[in-house]
Amino acid sequence: MSRSGQLNVSRTKDILVPNEYILALHGEFSRWSFDEVSGREHRGEWRKMIGLSADAGLDIELGTGNGLHFAHRAIGFPDRGLVGLELKYKPLIQSIRRAVRGGANNARIVRYNAYLIDHIFGENEVNDVFIHFPDPWEKLKNHKHRMIQDEFLRRLSVVQKPGSFLEFKTDSREYFDWALEKFEKSPYTILEHTFNLHAPENPPAPFMTHFEKLFVRQKLPIHRAYLRSPNKV
């Protein structure tokens, strides 16, 4: 509160003129969607929140976009939980709407910066991780905005159970080279990587994300790395 007794809000515009997606987060999809405050309240408790047993798988997708993969994964694996982190309201609602309307009850989504992953998940809480086509931030001065950073991988390795998987895909060769360098320095093990996922000699990919379809249509090669999370002492 300010001295005049007014509530201080950082995003005044959102609160005074909430758009349809903010309304949906707090309304129609409030059982499944969380904002920056409510998302943190379930740290370490996501399985319970979703109604899963303590030994059920709990996977996460960072930057869900319009949720094509998010919904596909949640619907295809009803016995595992899936939590998405997405910064923007519109894709956040598109993702959870697609999953819920497709019949999934095991998906949840949080509006949060994925870089700060350990604010949302506790130690060893997470199984497999999907990072598909994160914004590449190609200009040198913007590299600091990339999701794959040494510190991010350190935070991720704390919340991820040992021996789980991390899938990373991008169309940006420059970002892929950067990410491979970071992965090599990190405690993760690179199990596989390819500079052309859809090359004829590779087995057909089981599923394409929304951005992947766009890039494949433009005949751009897709880069993919598949990693294993580290053991801990």
Ligand X SMILES: C[S@@+](CC[C@H](N)C(=O)[O-])C[C@H]1O[C@@H](n2cnc3c(N)ncnc32)[C@H](O)[C@@H]1O
Contact status, residue 189 vs residue 227, Cβ threshold 8 Å: yes
Closest approach of Cβ 171 to ligand X, in Å? 9
Closest approach of Cβ 62 to ligand X, in Å? 6
Q: Which positions lie near ligand X, rule CB under 6 A?
A: 62-65, 85-88, 91, 113-115, 132-135, 147, 209-212
Q: Is 135 a catalytic residue?
A: yes
The owner of tokens 């609602």 is 93
Instruction: Determine which one of 14, 55, 79, 135 is catalytic.
Output: 135
Q: Select 162 or 183, whichever has its Cβ closest to ligand X.
A: 183
Q: Select 52 or 87, whichever has its Cβ closest to ligand X.
A: 87
Contact status, residue 33 vs residue 108, Cβ threshold 8 Å: yes
CA 69 to CA 210: how far, in whole Å? Answer: 8
CA 77 to CA 14: how far, in whole Å? Answer: 35
Q: Select 89 or 188, whichever has its Cβ closest to ligand X.
A: 89
CA 173 to CA 206: how far, in whole Å? Answer: 22
CA 116 to CA 107: how far, in whole Å? Answer: 20
How many helices (H) and strands (E) in the chain?
Answer: 8, 8
Closest approach of Cβ 115 to ligand X, in Å? 5
Contact status, residue 187 vs residue 157, Cβ threshold 8 Å: yes
Closest approach of Cβ 11 to ligand X, in Å? 16
Q: Select 128 or 212, whichever has its Cβ closest to ligand X.
A: 212
Residue numbers annotated as active site: 135
